[in-house]
Structure 1
């Protein structure tokens, strides 16, 4: 049986420790560009699927042919949207 614990390995050298200031700026620039591409892709995806989310997901339970009603085998419930403020319906659905 060994009396001493195994020797620890040396940590690998951090690749960013030897980067110059301009190399750090280059890395930051690419990360910002990739982040902006992701945000733009998310906005485009939300715009393309906005009618589906509003009509089928959010306002879906207001219609008797809602998919979950048939899946759960329950009768449709009469649902109406109530506005408590003047621009309420405008902010509920812009279209």
Structure 2
């Protein structure tokens, strides 16, 4: 996981933008999102993504996981809408 300057972040990132920021595909991002129970939200314009605080939180979890043990993530389904991952 690369370094991200939390001070210069936008207020909202779409799912695609988070994938580029984290350098991972949607399936891997979804897996981490499910694992840490941080789900995308729909903004007022109908875009699915994450508020800045959630991007930071998810980035921190993934960074620590990779740094500590480098283990693979564990995917868990929570029955939420699948729309943001389409």
Q: Please, what TM-score do these two structures have when normalized by structure 1? A: 0.25
Larger radius of gyration: 1
| Structure with more relative contact order (C-alpha pairs < 8 Å, separation 6 or more) | 2
Q: Which one has the bigger strand percentage?
A: 2
Q: Which one has the bigger helix percentage?
A: 1
